[in-house]
Amino acid sequence: MKLSKKEIEHIIQLARIELLEDEKEQFSEQLSDILAYMEILNEIDTKDVEPTAHIGGLTNVMSEDQLKEQGIRKFDSEGYRDELLKNAPQVQEGFIKVPPILE
């Protein structure tokens, strides 16, 4: 489908772009090629094809969460908690103290 110069000028105006004359000619050829390809795709029978938003299947690629040992202690052991709190810059009543974000 070859677009006329008037149609190209209208599209350029709608897109709010400025093109030089040689760019307009290149744009016209490229857009005409795209529209010609769309006409070919429109000839394909897709009446038995369900619409979809994705080209691939929807599968979850995330693995299940699992409790793992860190070093020699598990997360649920009391000694591990004490070990973590030793590394905190400030501790208050068994919790890591952080600066307030709201006054």
**What pTM, to 2 d.p., does this model score?**
0.46
Q: How do residues 28-41 score in pLDDT, each as one tens digit?
A: 999 999 999 999 99
Angle at 62 between CA 56 and CA 64, to 5 degrees: 140
Q: Domains in the chain and their CATH numbers?
A: 5-42 (1.10.20)
Between 61 and 70, the more confident residue is: 61
Q: What is the mean pLDDT of the chain?
A: 84
pLDDT for residue 64 is more than 90: no
Residue 32 vs residues 3, 5, 8, 25, 35: alpha-carbon distances, Å: 6, 11, 10, 11, 5
User: Residue 55: phi, psi to the nearest 5?
Assistant: -85, -20
pLDDT at 69: 64
Strand partners, 91: 96
Helices 5-15, 21-42: inter-axial angle, 10-degree rounding = 100
